[in-house]
Amino acid sequence: MTIVPVALGDRSYDIRIEANLLERAGPALAHLANGRPMPIVTDQNLKPHLPVLQASLRAVGIASEALVLPAGEATKNWANLERVTDWLIALGVERSDHIIAFGGGVIGDLTGFAASILKRGCNFVQFPTTLLSQVDSSVGGKTAINSAAGKNLVGAFYQPALVLIDPALLDTLPRREVRAGYAEVVKYGLIDDFAFFEWCEANAGALLAGDPQAREHAIAHSVAAKARIVGQDERETTGKRALLNLGHTFGHALEAETGFSDKLLHGEGVAAGMALAYAYSARLGLCPTQDAERVAAHLRAVGLPDGLKAAGITASGATLVEHMLHDKKMAGGTLPFLLTRGIGQTFLDKTVDLADVTAFLDAQPR
Ligand code: GLY
């Protein structure tokens, strides 16, 4: 078992990582229950695991009704926000109660946002079940739904009271989804931790094959990195937390081009986006070419896209840059980019010339 603290003053909390924690969730949550029920919001994919969670809670005297929503990104909408909040109100949830978000990023984001507004804010626990949500979205308090104009445009910074991570839940996840989540693991090495990138190069194979030690180490290291960054810049105001968006501006354009669909999963877009951020930094003479090639080679080796061609993108540079202009990271008419001086040396640049990015993208193999 590993405990990683997130230090945020009176909003501090722990991340507890432990294989088969699902079966021990009751004892892990008992100190929060205070004799009250703990409602669970989850999705159809988690139905096989839900009875295990509820039995574990029942064993320590915690009642837990569940709302099972459809799986998928489309669930993160206004209608389901209303559905979740109405359901919680009908259950008689009080402000000091804890709601459990049991699922991937969609369930975590939606439930966290519902908790942030219900009765002006009640408590919630993140119990992420995908690699992507375990190493990224469940930690740090970003919660949101999508609006007609785009992804995550309506939301709040709202921290959970606890994060429970059971790496064994990944055993039943499709391999493609685990691989996509791995992009957010190696991201931490590429941001500011060369030694962790080297660890990833040596251990990604074991991790993706389900080796328990490699998996637990990767998750613990990733959430510790995220906790450190969020602890320094909770609301993404100083530029520090923005480092977590490495690969996301290029990736967002690729995801938009594929209609945010299963053609390109978010983690796959991030992988290709990180390779492009490194290649673009090399083109600008900021980053050694061999570093950009080494990053691309690693992504290829684990089966992740290393650029436009591998991501199946044929669109022009102008079309992709047009998608970027709809990114919510636009500020003051400019688009901040995460560039790099080498592996583990990412920095924020607000002066990138979009005409040059267009030319760079046009020159990429299709
Ligand atoms: N996923 C990026 C962040 O939490 O800031």
> Catalytic residue at 263?
no
Q: How much is the pTM?
A: 0.96
Q: How many residues does the chain have?
A: 366
**What pLDDT is stored for residue 148 in this prediction?**
87
> E strands of the chain, at which residues?
2-6, 13-17, 40-43, 66-69, 98-103, 123-128, 142-147, 150-157, 162-165, 337-340, 346-349
> Catalytic residue at 177?
no
For ligand 1, mutation pick of 106, 130, 137, 328 (most atoms within 8 Å of CB): 137
Catalytic residue among 49, 76, 142, 217: 142
Average pLDDT, integer, range 88-92? 98
> Catalytic residue at 142?
yes
**268 touches ligand 1 (CB under 6 Å):** no
Catalytic residue among 179, 184, 215, 216: 184
What are 239-254's pLDDT values in tens digits?
Answer: 999 999 999 999 999 9
The pair phi, psi for residue 353, each rounded to 5°, is -90, 115
Between residues 55 and 148, which one has the greater pLDDT?
Answer: 55
> Catalytic residue at 184?
yes
- Would you say residue 149 has pLDDT above 90? no
Tell me whether strands 337-340 and 162-165 are parallel, antiparallel or unpaired: unpaired
**Banded pLDDT at 328 (limits 50, 70, 90):** low
Q: Which residue has the tokens 């022009």?
A: 316
The amino acid sitting at 211 is: D
DSSP state of 142: E
Q: b/e for 192-203, b at 16 or more Cβ within 10 A?
A: bbeebbebbbeb
N-term to C-term CA, the chain: 45
**49 touches ligand 1 (CB under 6 Å):** no
Average pLDDT, integer, range 96-115? 98
Query: Is residue 364 helix, strand or coil?
Result: coil
Q: What ligand 1 atom has the least distance to the C-alpha of 241?
A: 5
**136 touches ligand 1 (CB under 6 Å):** yes
Percent of the chain's residues with pLDDT above 90: 94
**What pLDDT is stored for residue 330 in this prediction?**
73
> Catalytic residue at 309?
no
**128 touches ligand 1 (CB under 6 Å):** no
Among the four given CATH numbers 3.40.50.1100, 3.10.20.600, 3.40.50.1970, 3.40.50.150, the one describing domain 2-172: 3.40.50.1970
Average pLDDT, integer, range 164-177? 97
CATH for 175-362 is: 1.20.1090.10
- Would you say residue 221 has pLDDT above 70? yes
Count other Cβ atoms within 10 Å, centred on residue 315: 17
Please tell me the distance from the alpha carbon of residue 11 to that of residue 285, in angstroms, as a whole number.
42
**What pLDDT is stored for residue 331 in this prediction?**
72
Percent of the chain's residues with pLDDT above 70: 99
Mean of all residue pLDDT scores within the chain: 96
Distance between Cα 16 and ligand 1 center (Å): 19
- Would you say residue 260 has pLDDT above 80? yes
What is the residue extent of each domain of the chain?
2-172, 175-362
Catalytic residue among 151, 241, 257, 298: 241
> Catalytic residue at 266?
yes
